[in-house]
Chain A
Amino acid sequence: MKTNIRLIIILILTTSIIKGQDSDSSVNPRKIYSVNLQSGLNQIREKNLLPLVHKGFVTELSFETEKIKSSLRQFQFTFTYSRVKTSIEEMSKSGNIKLGLNYSFNFLVFQKTNFRYYLGPQASLCYSFMMFPNWDDSHGYWADYMSFGPNNIFSVSLRHECEWFAAINFSLLGLFSRPKEIRPFKMDDSSFGGIFKALNSNVEPGLMNRLFQINIRTEYRFPVFVNKREAITFNTNIIRISGINGQPVFQIINMLGLKIML
């Protein structure tokens, strides 16, 4: 099944490239609002708790804006939810909820016929909260960060108003919050205030060695009606955060989705 999905994506992208050789190269100023629904696989190894990988189905809903003039500005709000389990559990009782905000301001640095390359800074804020009740029925786990780094956008205009679009961004530096590995108390404060305080506790600065985050996303945009386009999207997000007072958390999310341009 996974192999089939991979082949379909590669086929779509490869076909687009071949078709796109003689497409129009002009860039029309525009502002796009879109909603993106994606699903896929979430993998988490939270070594503060155990070295096993929690895997499970993930769903992400995001609202995005994209403003293109002489520059390309993108804003994204994401809500991600997944149920996960280890290989030795029968049922998924664990879960991961993420809230994310991303903003990037990208300059057109290269343009040739139908190809454009943008580069600019991106700021990301992510709250990621995890519960593993089979393994720890008393404490929550989190991997929150605010990161800054370069964003690279590649855009290829294709025939029939289609467009292939890819972005790679990664963090160079940032701030993050992780729970301590040793928590010598039985219960977390589960009130709203307690959770909020925990999610913003133990804040540490970090470069790529402590806060590593890379996001690769690609979209194939195609028209469905006149002046109305949708997109098939693929997204890979890799995060590794390692605090001073604990073990690292490693997360990989791969998702495939449909973006509806409003």
Chain B
Amino acid sequence: MKTRILIVILLGVLFFGMQSCLKDEQLKLAYNGFQPLKIGDDWQVSTPAGENMNEDFLDAAYQLIYNNERFVMARSLLVLRNGKIVAESYPHDPDDAYRIENIQSCTKSFTSILTGIALKKHYLDSLNQTFYSIYPDYFLNHQDKKNITIASALTMKTGINFIDSDNTRPLYETDKSSIDYILSVPKNYDPGIVFQYNDGAPHLISAAIQEGYGKPLSVFADDFLFKPLGITDWKWEAAKDGITFGAVSIFMKPRDVAKFGQLLLQNGKWGNQQIVDSTWIAEATKPIVTMYSPGTSYGYYFWVYPAYGGYAAVGHGGQFIFVVPSKKLVIIYTAWPYTSGDMFDNFNELADLIVKSCY
């Protein structure tokens, strides 16, 4: 009898085990508006009404990133107008406001601005300068790439067949020279002809600035961009040979990313200091390369959207820093940085709502 009872109990346990099923939990916090945080930093905050914005459109944008089935890996959305934070929210974790995270390929746009600063300060000679003229030793075994210029790298037209899905991880992992690794990738076009978006070209520029300045690009950035902007909590990864990745991996807090966007909107001026020439920002953010996708062009590591009259730094995870000068508008959207393209969601849908909110 005892045996039977025991076996019945065991069967019950077995049945329970078969029923066991894990359930999805909520991806995001409950939506609780978009009032900017009171952090006590040097940002001014305002309200939609105070900056002449339609609150309903903004609300729709924030509802979108709080939707569990849309913008699934959203981490932050900040809207700035007239130099003030009007709306701000962190749908995953409020601590994301204080956490540095990888902004991925938005980094390329930082490299673009740093290139402008390096040119102004004569750490680089000109856009037509070849990398061979800057670091000839790397070209001993890569004579076919001697005529690649800074301009061709800025427009993703080096002709090197660097494919991110195949080549970015080896670039991270190579124990040898990261520049030699990039130059060893076969060339399939002459420079300046065909646009091919990749992580290799900005790295060549990073090495060029390092060569001119004598210190890595991350140090150059700290000296001439981050410190003047008051950005102190940041990280920028480098290859094993010490060359800062020009294409990816600046880690920064969302409000500090917003400073970069606001600097662009202010034509390079921050307080009384002209950090970067306004002419360089205008040059870098104008349509230089026409894309196959309608309504998009490419500048010097900036995506240009003529329909909005704006431009953006765009990174993995669907992250973006979107600047619309005519509206005095800056939008910062950050997301979990390592998701595949399937999870990026629709930039235009989010941008539309926020741009429409501006009277």
Contacts and interface: CB of A to CB of B under 8 A. Distances in A.
Interface in B81-112: 99-102, 104
A193 B257 CA distance: 36
A61 B12 CA distance: 26
B173 A254 contact: no
Given A187-B173, A218-B10, A252 B21 contact: yes
B7 interface: yes
Contacts, number: 114
A184 B235 contact: yes
A30 interface: no
Contacts of A238: 17, 20
A45 B25 contact: yes
Given A87-B24, A236-B14, A236-B20, A187 B3 contact: no
A184 B251 contact: yes
A135 B343 contact: yes
A234 interface: yes
B24 A53 contact: yes
Given A136-B339, A236-B17, A190 B24 contact: no
B169 to A, nearest CB: 6
A245 interface: no
A137 B100 CA distance: 19
Interface residues of A, number: 51
Nearest to B249: A186
B249 A190 contact: no
B13 A53 contact: no
B208 to A, nearest CB: 22
A70 B327 CA distance: 84
B7 A50 contact: no
Q: Which of B2, B3, B27, B251 has the most CB of A within 10 A?
A: B3
A225 interface: no
A53 B22 contact: yes
A192 interface: no
Interface in A189-214: 189-191
Contacts of A118: none
A186 B72 contact: no
Contact of A166 (B2, B10, B23, B72): B10
Given A184-B251, A187-B172, A252-B20, A51 B25 contact: yes
Nearest to B104: A186
B342 interface: yes
A182 B6 contact: no
B24 A52 contact: yes
A21 to B, nearest CB: 9
B11 interface: yes
A258 interface: no
A168 interface: yes
A10 interface: yes
A17 B7 contact: yes
Contact of A190 (B73, B169, B237): B169
Contacts of B11: 10, 13-14
B7 A216 contact: no
A135 B169 CA distance: 17
B7 A134 contact: no
Contacts of A87: 24
B339 A137 contact: yes
A191 B170 CA distance: 11
A185 B17 contact: no
B37 to A, nearest CB: 20
Interface in B117-174: 169, 172-173
